[in-house]
Structures are given as structure tokens and as C-alpha cells.
Amino acid sequence: MSGQTFSQKILGAKAGKAVVPGEIVDVIPDVAMSHDNTAAIARTFATIGVDRLYDPDMHVIVLDHCAPAANEKFATNHQEIRAFVEAQGIESFYDVASGVCHQILVEQGFALPGRLIVGSDSHTTSYGALGAFSTGIGRSEMAVIMATGKIWLRVPETMRIDCDGRFAAGVYPKDLILKIIGDIGADGALYRAVEFDGPAIADMSVSGRLTLCNMTIEMGGKNGYVHPDQKTLDFLNGRARENFETVTSDPDAEYIERLRYDVSGLEPQIARPHTVDNVCDVSEVAGTRIDQVVIGSCTNGRLDDLHQAAAILEGREVKNGVRCLILPASSDVTRAATQDGTMLKLIDAGCLILNANCGPCMGNHEGALAPGEKALSSANRNFKGRMGCKEAEIFLGSPASCAAAAITGEICDVREIASPEALAAGLEA
Amino acid sequence: MEPITGKVWKYGDDVNTDVIFPGKYTYTVTEPAEMAKVALEDLDPDFAPNVQKNDVIVAGANFGCGSSREQGATCLVHAGVGAVIAASFSRLFFRNAINAGLPLVQSVEAVAALEKGDEVTVDVEAGTVTTQAGTFAFPPLPEAVIGIFEDGGLIPHTRKALGID
Ligand code: SF4
């Protein structure tokens, strides 16, 4: 028998037997995450006819999708969730002052190597950046986990993407993942686990790896993965909630496909409306007028992302007529960026600092677009209507590309407007 | 399960959950009849007012990509859609549809043979799609999940498994 992939090992350990890709197993996850959709899930849970949660301690609930509530309807939704959390004795509850669910699971030490994590949110793929097996599920499935603890999962085939080289100044992990998605398409990794490896990944910060795994779903992937290394362990030191063992693919594991990228020659990438795989070099869309810029989200709203954007915006001004919204991924990020002066640089440049939540990323409230408007965002989706208006256009790029567009009022190559020092900033993490 | 016969609504590749059921409605539009009214709103405004019971959606690759939102599948069920035929499905849509008891057919040939307005019959038990151009076989659901589908979805299936029903 050939070696096993990390997915086989993690799912096999949970199933209590050796498993092969394609096999369907019933498993009990270590962590089950839900957000503002918990009220709907709780209502479905109530229809099953079980009174108490199978295990309140496996659930983590974060209010982030419209936080704080935009109106009575959202407020009632939150109220229902708080009552459910209280009634069921769920300890791991993060109310509206916390941040975006995926960042919370990472910061608060729930996302750990070797763990099986499911979430009723498609970007649950993020935690693979720390070596977990993590994937999105539906609301009814979460309701059934509440009742029985269990879910069925298909053991995925794994594709491996080896990344060589070094990023040029002004080019970031976001550009790499956009490039890959553009090349293989929105279904290029359908049903598959995607393992990122190679020297460029070893050099990459945990934050950059989170960006890659967060966007793995945008190419159809079931989960993303980076094998844990010293950077992972350093990041988890003092953060991990419990002991863990790293799980890695065997050297002779079978991959369904292998791709190789050299990041050295990569240009800044932009995804054009209305699909994430509609990707091009920035030069192809340079000059596109922009009304709103969003820097943040669970994809690129961490401290290093804000450092990169602030270094470019420092001492300059957001162009008149452009709205530049800063959307930190968590309140811890807001705190750190306030303490180290990053927020002041952004405010002085004319940016608007939002509270840490999903906000403009999915069009629930703050920062919606008007018909005919164009936005450049560092989030992960540019689908029609995503920012609340189907006659608006959304482009995606790195936080640095976003900062550059905020200054010039149009999509442009950040390397043409920023100093070498500014382009080198924020890479320390 | 009886074969389903209906009229075809045809779309392209990568139909995503934001155009099937816009994100801005995920916490505000919750009643089945209301959900049916906004189904495919940003893709095809003609769909919701005109869809008939048992009509069939036919689409290209990666149908239902994007969000995990279950309303992508349930709004179609509420709108009366009898089945979805596509070249391939996103993983989350696939799960959500099974869990909602919505029949899915993966068949590149059937997609190529069908146009908007055609009549089509989907026989889930026999694993066939019948069109004017002929009959196409499609692979059955994985054995491990067929029980969910046969019980009418995940929730009734779970109640049965727990001995509540
Ligand atoms: S920030 Fe955007 S992508 Fe991330 S969880 Fe919120 S809505 Fe989803």
C-alpha cells in the first residue's frame, strides 16, 4: 500500500480504520463552528426532537456576519442565538465585539494541527493553514451534529501544489492564490484536498498561508493544507487550547494531480467581475475607475495585511471621491493595529475604520455598493450582488493593490506608485 | 420515487450561490414562499415568476459554487424545482441538495442534449434522463448517502435513525 495523505490519516483516525479516497465515513469532529446562521440551525435542531446538544463543548459560535446588528431583524436573530447559547451551555461563544469567525478560531487556538473541524461557512477551509482538516458544511448538517455529534464525509483525493521561488516586492500570497484559481478555474480542485508545499510556502507567514487555504474553496476544494512547521508551532505557542500532534502526508502518498508554480516572476493579480477565476495581471485592468476599496476580511484582514496597506498609504491621501474601508479580521487585530500606530496612518490617509465583522464582504450592511459602482476588495468573492447590488462590479486583489487604488482612484500596479521601503513593509510576520 | 417530468431552464457554468440566493437575503428572507420568489433573482429574473412544479434546472460545470448557504438548494425546492441536471456540482451544493431531498443528476451528455423549454424526465431510481434526443444513464448516488435521500432529506433521516419517527 502506498503512503497516506494527511486527509486519509485525519479522517481515518476519526473513523477508527484505514481509509482510502472516495470512501465515505461517519465521523465526530473536534470542533463545529457556526455564526449568525446559528439561529436557523437551532430551529432545525429543534425539529429533530433531541433536547440537549450531543456535546456543547465541541461548538464554537461567533456573531460576525452582521455585527453589530443592522436592524431589528438581524438583532432578533442575534437575540435568538444568545438565548440558545445560554440554554445549551455553550462556553465558546464570541459576541459581536470579537471579529470574523475564521480569524477567531485561529487566534483563539481552536484551529490546531491534526484536528477535524467543520463549519457552516464555506471558508472553513482556512484552518488547513495550521495543519487541520477543515471544511464547510450546510446548516442542516450542523443541526444534526448538534443532535448526534456525527457527520458523513467523503475522503478526498489530494492535489499538491509546489511553490518555488521568492515573491518580488509588491507581490503577495493573495496574488499567488488568485493566479492559481485563474489557471485551474472555479472547479479546478472540485471535491479535492489541496496541499500547498515548497520553498515559497516554507518562507510564507502563517497569515499568508491562511489566505491560500481560505481561498481554496474558490477553486472548488474541499479543504486546503500546509504541513505544520516551526512557524506553525511558534504561532500556536501560548495559543493552542490543547495538546496536538501534527499530521503530515507520507512522502510516498498518492496525489491525483501535481502542479508547480514559481512565484518569482509573478505579477500582482486581479480577479475581474463576476467570478473569482476571471483573473489577469494587473496591467490588463490598470486604469479601471474605482469607487470603493475594501481592505480586510477573513482573507486579508490580519495585522500584516494592514501593515502592508498602511505602508503604502502612509503620508498620502485616499483620492477624493473614493471610499477606502478598513475591515480588520478581529478586534485583536484592531487592537494591535491601534497600539502600533497603523490605524493612525490609515485614518490620516482618509480611510474609514470599520469594526471587525463581515460587513461589506457579503452585503449585509455597512459599505454596500450602488448601481454602476466598482469596488476593489481584498476579500475572497466578487460574485454578482455580493456587496449588496447586482449592478455593481467587484474586483479582487491584494491589500497592497487595494491601497494603491485608494490613492489613485483606479486599479494600478502598486509597484509604480510605492517606494521600495513601502513595498517591503509588513512582510515580517 | 416517481419519475419527474418538467420543463428545462438552462444556464451556463459556475452558477454560484450568490445568484441562486443572494447573500443579502440570508437572514431576512426565511419563509418558503418568499424564498421561492427570490430564487435565481440575480441570474434570471424570469425564473421565479414562471417556474412550474417539477421544472428541471440544467446547467454546466460546478453548479452551486460559492457559499455553504443551504438556501441555494432549499429555495429551488420551495420554487418547485424537481431536479437539477449539471455537468458537475460544487461539493457544498451537492451535500445541501441531498440533505434537502433535491434530486441531482450529473451528466455531461444530458446537459448537451437539453435546451431551454425542452421537456425532460428524470428517473432517479432507474438512473436515467429522457430527452427528445434519447435516454442517458447517470451514476447513482453513493450508497452511504442514498438512505438520506430516500428518507426525504437529512432531518427526517436523522429522526428515523434516532428512533424518534
Ligand atoms: S469576512 Fe466575508 S468571506 Fe469571511 S466569513 Fe465573513 S462573509 Fe465570509
Mean pLDDT of A400-406: 98
What number of H helices and E strands is found in chain A?
Answer: 17, 18
Per-residue pLDDT, B150: 87
Alpha-carbon distance of A414 to A423, in angstroms, equals 8
Q: Which CATH architecture has domain A6-261?
A: 2-Layer Sandwich (3.30)
Per-residue pLDDT, B73: 96
For residue A429, pLDDT over 70 is answered with no
Length of chain A: 429
Q: Is A179 in the pocket of ligand 1 (CB under 6 A)?
A: no
β-strand pairing of B134-137 with B128-131 = antiparallel
Per-residue pLDDT, B165: 82
Question: Could you report the per-residue pLDDT of A253-306, keeping only the tens digit for each?
Answer: 999 999 999 999 999 999 999 999 999 999 999 999 999 999 999 999 999 999
For residue B108, pLDDT over 80 is answered with yes
Helix (H, G, I), strand (E, B) or coil at B33: helix
Instruction: Say what the alpha-carbon torsion angle B156, B161, A21, A236 is, to the nearest 10 degrees.
Output: 90
Q: Percentage of chain A with pLDDT > 70?
A: 99
Alpha-carbon distance of B135 to B62, in angstroms, equals 23
Question: Could you report the per-residue pLDDT of A60-105, keeping only the tens digit for each?
Answer: 999 999 999 999 999 999 999 999 999 999 999 999 999 999 999 9
A187 and B162 within 8 Å at the Cβ level: the answer is no
Name the DSSP letter for residue B1.
Answer: -
B162 and A49 within 8 Å at the Cβ level: the answer is yes
Domain spans in chain A, listed from the N-terminal domain onward: 6-261, 271-424
Q: For chain B, what percentages of helix, strand and coil (3-state, to nearest 5) are there?
A: 35, 20, 45
How many beta carbons lie within 10 A of that of residue B128, not counting itself? 17
Ligand 1 center to residue B108 CA distance, Å? 33
For cell 420568489, the residue is B37
C-alpha cell, A211: 489566505
Q: Please indicate if any CB of chain A lies within 8 Å of the CB of B68.
A: yes
Question: Could you report the per-residue pLDDT of A312-332, keeping only the tens digit for each?
Answer: 999 999 999 999 999 999 999
Alpha-carbon distance of A278 to A186, in angstroms, equals 9
C-alpha cell, A414: 502598486
CA-to-CA dists, residue A67 to A70, A238, A359, angstroms: 7, 28, 8
Produce one character per residue of A388-413: b if its CB has 16 or more CB atoms within 10 Å, e if not.
bbbebbbbbbbbbbbbbbbbbbbbbb
Per-residue pLDDT, B1: 79
C-alpha cell, B77: 425546492
For residue B20, pLDDT over 70 is answered with yes
CA-to-CA dists, residue A240 to A130, A232, A245, A408, angstroms: 11, 11, 11, 42
Mean pLDDT of B100-128: 95
Please tell me the distance in Å from B22's CA to the nearest CA on chain A.
7
Burial class (CB in 10 A: 0-12, 13-18, 19+), B122: buried
**From 3.60.20.10, 3.30.2130.10, 3.30.499.10, 3.90.1150.10, which CATH number describes the A271-424 domain?**
3.30.499.10
Helices (H), A49-172: 72-88, 101-107, 139-148
Kindly state the helix (H) or strand (E) to which residue A6 belongs, with its residue range: helix A6-15
Mean pLDDT of B11-40: 93
Per-residue pLDDT, B122: 96
Per-residue pLDDT, A45: 98
Per-residue pLDDT, A231: 98
Helix (H, G, I), strand (E, B) or coil at A194: strand
Closest CA to A404 of A290, A321, A299: A290
Where does the pLDDT of residue A1 fall: very low under 50, low under 70, confident under 90, or very high at 90 and above? low
CB B58 within 8 A of CB B111: yes
Mean pLDDT of A366-391: 95
Classify the complex by whether its ipTM is higher than 0.95, answering yes or no. Answer: no
Alpha-carbon distance of A93 to A36, in angstroms, equals 11
Ligand 1 center to residue A168 CA distance, Å? 28
Q: Please indicate if any CB of chain A lies within 8 Å of the CB of B144.
A: yes
Q: What residue ranges define each of the domains in chain B, with the CATH number in brackets?
A: 4-162 (3.20.19.10)
How many beta carbons lie within 10 A of that of residue B108, not counting itself? 15
Measured between beta carbons, the chain B residues lying within 8 angstroms of A383 are: 16-19, 66
Mean pLDDT of A389-394: 95
| Closest Cα to atom 4 of ligand 1 | A298
Kindly state the helix (H) or strand (E) to which residue A293 belongs, with its residue range: strand A292-296
Where does the pLDDT of residue A428 fall: very low under 50, low under 70, confident under 90, or very high at 90 and above? low
Per-residue pLDDT, B149: 86
For residue A294, what are the β-bridge partners?
A325, A377
Nearest to A36 among B16, B27, B154 (CB): B27
Per-residue pLDDT, A364: 87
Closest ligand 1 atom to residue A301 Cα is 1
β-strand pairing of B128-131 with B119-123 = antiparallel
Per-residue pLDDT, B163: 94
Q: Please indicate if any CB of chain A lies within 8 Å of the CB of B96.
A: yes
C-alpha cell, A230: 516551526
C-alpha cell, A233: 508551532
- A6-261 and A271-424: identical CATH topology: yes
Per-residue pLDDT, B143: 81
CA-to-CA dists, residue A57 to A53, A92, A131, A392, B129, angstroms: 9, 7, 21, 42, 46
Mean pLDDT of B122-143: 91
Per-residue pLDDT, A2: 81
Per-residue pLDDT, A66: 96
pTM for the model stands at 0.95
Query: Mean pLDDT for chain A?
Result: 97
Ligand 1 center to residue A100 CA distance, Å? 7
Question: Could you report the per-residue pLDDT of A16-43, keeping only the tens digit for each?
Answer: 999 999 999 999 999 999 999 999 999 9
How many beta carbons lie within 10 A of that of residue A72, not counting itself? 9
